[in-house]
Structure 1
């Protein structure tokens, strides 16, 4: 009976272990769908877009230093002098403007613009992280699903082995030890299945966190992205396009301007002011006669700090230290990006080599498994030998699932390391956030109705009004 059971299981056993996923529904979710959902769902992107808009406003604030400040002042005073009442009221309109500050305000504007560009680069970096997280979550769900299917198949196969062993024990061909070994293998398979199901549940939660929705049926990953011809080419692209390097360059440029700004604080400042005021006073002591006075004024003022108690020299030294730190940060970031490119490139090579070796291992393991089962029918092999051979096939199949997922992920990690993992470069075909729209609306510190309407349109477009 056991022999007939083995003949029945000989081919289906391997088919079960290596069975593919069930047929995909017509609307399976693709990797592109996952990245689009992550881009639209990410609160981290929203946060950094708001940070960018705040940086845009810094540019407007810096520009405002070149414009006049106009304010009105109203004042009322009541006095009682030796029993006589007196009161006065005044209303004035004042305007003040920096006429010339020897480049101080212009440097501040340039620093604000460099900060805007640095923040834009940081936003691209966040976009890359969000998309890579979506890729990771997608591949994890795919891999975990395949592992669950593989472990389910293993449980079914070992269950058949357990029943066959029990039948063989009943006819006296094997001992209780062989049956116990099959029981142990079945328990281990069930434990591995429970672990795989737990990993799948975790992967599904990570996918939901990344994309804002639970995964449905996921389509197979698309062909791997096209890569540069060589590692040096990939590194060259990364040094030219990676957002962290662009951000560090802008921050270094801003720190250079910061040194000039600190030196400019010692320069004189020329300001002009103008005012119109009207005042009215009434005193009982003068017979209750009211008097009205209108005054117009215009003045120029120039000032320069001669001694600051060491504050200005300290500010200058501090700016130079910050400049040196920014330069070192740029160098460090460039090295980190270079390392990330090399690591991702090596990951691709390793995963490819692993898949080739695992393919050969699976072929050999399947042949060995079939041979062991044949020998077991002749009594030359034990149940444990069969189970061990089956486990080798199972482990090789599981390792291939992991290696294929690692290969896909390494391709996208390399894109990220080169600064190319963006919605635009991947051509995902969705509207993207325009980092310049808000800046263009506020860079001139809008107040007039036309500029205000333009800003309102921007706010509505990004859903903030």
Structure 2
């Protein structure tokens, strides 16, 4: 009986300490995991490369309004064989000519109804939209990192809880067998203890499997294997109402801003399609020389011919079978689709904010309820244990009370993890889940650095590439 009382007193304390013992003092913080995810993300690398490609579209559009200089060079050998004269007095004539030609040409677009200049604006709008796509990718990376980190933390705590429960039930089984040997309890009580231990071992194996799955996801989302993790000390800054969250989302969410730039692009594309009806004026000039490298019957060797020309070309559509009008209608339809997409994007963001805010509210309530459940089940477990030591309760009563307490602690662990995930999910729905808002200690990618280097379409970045190297280093590419 003394051993059984000792077991009963130690059981509650062991369960209470199980979660705390699962977290080493030198564990990685959530902030550490977010920094690693930001540095190691392939998704961010992909979207940064796409942004640089969009930056080059601006450079190419700018280049379309600049002079085009070109050259051509050729060497041509011509062999001409003729049979001349009447049939009775035929004779053969052979002419061989070898010429070398070099031509320099230049052209400049003077007017195209503004289509090329609007094309530059379209490219700039595409850059702005792609920057927001990069921001959205950053939110995805960070939210996945939060979810994975908290899942590893929760599953590791549950594994520790289950291990402790196995130890407690193993001790209880030992005590039950001793009491059975002295006739205090029946064989049924021993069997109940054995069944409880077997179930607990099964639950431990399942929890260890969940932890292995979580650690595998950690490698994918964080970029390296999970070490020790710790409970975050604070929540991100919250809002006081769903209306406040909606106001922030409407001005900050990257998907909404990207959709707005897509509408601007579509509007410009309509104007470009309409400009196809206008004339195009271009200036062209060329200078060339032709050298005769081999003498023939008509031209002496080393003779040459120089030529130069300057011209203005005006061209425009008269009738294209309705293709231009179709292009205008198509651009208008695409514009209408972009406007509708903006509307649906706004609705989706509003829904996401409301759902995220509700989920956070529910998660906080669940955590509070779980803590109250722990308190109540702890009291109940202690009471049942004391009554069992006096013979007023059965072994089954003790096992049920212990299982209820274990379930309450597991629910508390899950609720705490869900609350953190919900808090960061709300930040993501508001468009604020980024390294700057979270104040993460990590060098951030500057989306304007590469753009500022190439936006004016330099023919050569630098004679030895130092400037481009500096830009690439600043954005983490070298």
User: Normalized against structure 2, the TM-score is what?
Assistant: 0.93
Match of 1:401 among 406, 413, 421: 413
Q: Deviations over 1:137-179 (max 9, x none)?
A: 1111111111011101111111122122222222233332222
* 5+ long unaligned stretches in structure 2: 82-93
Q: Deviations over 1:236-261 (max 9, x none)?
A: 00010001111111111111111111
1:233-252 to 2 correspondences below 5 Å? 233-252=244-263
Match of 2:402 among 390, 405, 428: 390
Residue 5 of structure 1: CA displacement? 2.1
Equivalents in 1 of 2:264, 2:200: separation in Å?
60
Aligned to 2:168: 157
Over 3 Å counting, the alpha-carbon distance change for 1:387 and 1:273 in structure 2 is: same
RMSD: 1.7
Is 1:209 matched up with 2:208? no
Aligned to 2:474: 461
Q: Which moved more, 1:253-262 or 1:378-387?
A: 378-387
Is 1:196 matched up with 2:207? yes
Aligned to 1:367: 379
Equivalents in 2 of 1:263, 1:384: separation in Å?
83
**1:125–1:244 CA contact under 8 A, matched in 2:** yes
Over 3 Å counting, the alpha-carbon distance change for 1:267 and 1:124 in structure 2 is: same
Residue 453 of structure 1: CA displacement? 4.5
The count of aligned residue pairs is: 463
Residue 25 of structure 1: CA displacement? 5.3
Is 1:9 matched up with 2:21? no
Q: Secondary structure at the match of 2:228?
A: coil
In terms of Rg, which structure is larger? Answer: 2
1:319-398 to 2 correspondences below 5 Å? 319-398=331-410
* 5+ long unaligned stretches in structure 1: none
**2:79–2:96 CA contact under 8 A, matched in 1:** yes
Q: Secondary structure at the match of 1:295?
A: strand
**1:280–1:293 CA contact under 8 A, matched in 2:** yes
Residue 212 of structure 1: CA displacement? 2.0
Is 1:266 matched up with 2:285? no
1:269-284 to 2 correspondences below 5 Å? 269-281=280-292, 282-284=294-296
Q: Deviations over 1:55-95 (max 9, x none)?
A: 00001111111011111011222222222211222100001
**1:6–1:373 CA contact under 8 A, matched in 2:** no
Over 3 Å counting, the alpha-carbon distance change for 1:79 and 1:387 in structure 2 is: same
**1:351–1:407 CA contact under 8 A, matched in 2:** yes
**2:445–2:474 CA contact under 8 A, matched in 1:** no
Aligned to 2:88: none
Residue 449 of structure 1: CA displacement? 5.7
**2:105–2:285 CA contact under 8 A, matched in 1:** yes
Residue 327 of structure 1: CA displacement? 0.9
Residue 182 of structure 1: CA displacement? 1.4
